[in-house]
């Protein structure tokens, strides 16, 4: 795969990540983060890959914690 192909794939994955974030789709955001991180890792950008995974997963965990708090809150 040439450099322009890698750049195009990276742009597409970043767009998918942003779109999933905008729509609040946790599964799509996690998948996009994972695929983007894998691409970044394969091009030697390890720190950026880790950061991408952290951002994708952190938002998923924050949402899960919020949902759990709402569920466990006593009824008024």
* Domain assignments of the chain as residue spans, ordered by start: 3-72
Mean of all residue pLDDT scores within the chain: 86
At residue 66, the pLDDT reads 53
Is the per-residue pLDDT at 76 higher than 90?
no
Taking only the tens place, the pLDDT of each residue in 20-43 is 999 999 999 999 999 999 999 999
pTM above 0.85, yes or no: no
Average pLDDT, integer, range 5-21? 95
Token pair 């729509």 in the structure block, residue: 23
Phi and psi torsions of 17, nearest 5°: -60, -45
**Burial (Cβ within 10 Å: 0-12, 13-18, ≥19) of residue 35:** middle
Nearest to 21 by CA among 12, 32, 11: 32
Is the per-residue pLDDT at 62 higher than 90?
no
Q: CA 45: distance to chain centroid?
A: 16
């Amino acid at each position: 795969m040439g450099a322009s192909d890698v750049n195009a794939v990276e742009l597409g994955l970043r767009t998918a990540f942003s779109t999933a974030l905008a729509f609040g789709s946790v599964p799509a955001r996690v998948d996009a983060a994972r695929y983007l991180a894998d691409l970044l890792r394969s091009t030697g950008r390890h720190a950026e890959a880790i950061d991408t995974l952290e951002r994708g997963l952190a938002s998923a965990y924050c949402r899960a914690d919020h949902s759990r708090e709402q569920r466990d809150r006593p009824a008024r």
